[in-house]
Amino acid sequence: MADRIFNFSPGPAVLPLEVLQQAAIDIVNFQNTGIGIAEISHRSKEFIKVAETTEQLLRELFEIPNNYKVLFLQGGASSQFFMIPMNLLAAGKKATYLNTGAWSKKAIKEAKLFGEVVVPFSSEEQKFNRVPVNGDYTIDKDSEYVYFVSNNTIYGTQFKEFPKTEKMLISDMSSDILSRKVDVSKFGLIFAGAQKNLGPAGVTIVIIREDLLDRSPANIPTMLKYKTHAEKDSMFNTPPCFSIYIVGEVLKWLKKNGGISAMDEVNKEKAGLLYAAIDESSYYRGHAEPASRSLMNISFNLATPELEAKFIAEATKAGLNGLKGHRSIGGCRASIYNAFPREGVVKLVNFMREFKANNPA
């Protein structure tokens, strides 16, 4: 069996090794049932317990108030781009969207199918190298909600503070959920695709305030109503059982390792090591403005595309995988989510310094 390498991929992304080891057992024989977790009935008492435990751990760790529902949905986070306005943006109403990256841009496109979208801030002309601070924009007084992406995977930017407004907040937290404390009560809805910081691809977590469940227009298809899934505990249809199971195992790992506060400290240290290596000379050039830098995804460039390609190829040979940047900005990107080990960041930093010494720009 080959040794494991350091996986900097943006998603599907690194999972805790002990979670994978447990899953390797449970995929064949889950809790001595003689049945693997991927083949067990979602109606069985064993899987219902898995789903209940996963939800309870998420509520505990993320401090979700009792008046919020936790849903395990399919269709990826991208399906939320239309489900949110379909359910919550009444005909003839407005919504405010902050355009800070590819995913917010796609959400804006979908929302325009259902109502008027106001975009008071966009960093697109600067290749999405920053997110706004409060005061950079004005929220339309007639908006039903304010939508933003808390962390931008492609461009390596992150909101350090959330929009301050009396309007309902909605956020795509796919790539930084559970990496820091969040006051869930400030939001109407939070969603996250699991495959970055929660588990494998296949399940999307939606945290929605209960009173919003009754806002859906009557003519929405049954499967696209949040209320449908809330009333059936996410089992109106067969849920993504294996993905939910892995999320539960990741949450157990998170709790065992000190919870969100502990992750926040570790994440700051890991990112600090990498940004320090970028900032110590002009050889590496961070994409995001310093005030907007992400702790989860760190995008940077070298002097030429050819030098970047050499860097990525040699890094891969050294066991540092997944460092190729997104095609929209090129360069390099290191995704260092909760489960990414500190020693992998140290190895990358050492490689960066060696590469710089051996390859003068």
Say whether both 34 and 78 belong to one domain: yes
Confidence of residue 2 (pLDDT cuts 50, 70, 90): low
CA 154 to CA 179: how far, in whole Å? Answer: 17
Say whether both 74 and 183 belong to one domain: yes
Look at residues 320, 243, 212, 245 and name the one whose alpha carbon lies nearest to residue 75.
243
Say whether both 68 and 207 belong to one domain: yes
8 A C-beta contact, residue 52 and residue 279:
no
Q: Which one of 222, 256, 290 terminates a domain?
A: 256
CATH of the domain at 183: 3.40.640.10
pLDDT over threshold 70, residue 1: no
Q: Is 224 in a helix, a strand, or coil?
A: helix
CA 53 to CA 67: how far, in whole Å? Answer: 18
Provide the pLDDT for residue 116: 96
What is the per-residue pLDDT across 317-346, written as a single tens digit (0 to 9) for each? 999 999 999 998 999 999 999 999 999 999
Say whether both 268 and 320 belong to one domain: yes
Provide the pLDDT for residue 133: 94
What is the per-residue pLDDT across 268-322, written as a single tens digit (0 to 9) for each? 999 999 999 999 999 999 999 999 999 999 999 999 999 999 999 999 999 999 9
Say whether both 111 and 171 belong to one domain: yes
Say whether both 160 and 223 belong to one domain: yes
**Sequence-ordered strand ranges (E) for the chain:** 6-7, 68-73, 94-99, 116-122, 143-149, 151-152, 157-158, 168-172, 187-193, 204-209, 285-286, 297-301, 320-321, 332-335
Question: Of how many residues is the chain composed?
Answer: 361
Q: Which one of 232, 256, 280 terminates a domain?
A: 256
User: Is 179 within the bounds of a domain?
Assistant: yes
What is the per-residue pLDDT across 163-214, written as a single tens digit (0 to 9) for each? 999 999 999 999 999 999 999 999 999 999 999 999 999 999 999 999 999 9
Q: Which one of 202, 235, 256 terminates a domain?
A: 256
Say whether both 130 and 277 belong to one domain: no
103 is catalytic: yes
Catalytic residue among 26, 172, 176, 227: 172
Instruction: Give the number of domains in the chain.
Output: 2
CATH of the domain at 311: 3.90.1150.10
Catalytic residue among 26, 103, 176, 227: 103
Catalytic residue among 26, 69, 176, 196: 196
Say whether both 246 and 279 belong to one domain: no
What is the per-residue pLDDT across 9-54, written as a single tens digit (0 to 9) for each? 999 999 999 999 999 999 999 999 999 999 999 999 999 999 999 9
CA 289 to CA 295: how far, in whole Å? Answer: 13
Structural domain containing residue 264: 258-358
Say whether both 191 and 276 belong to one domain: no
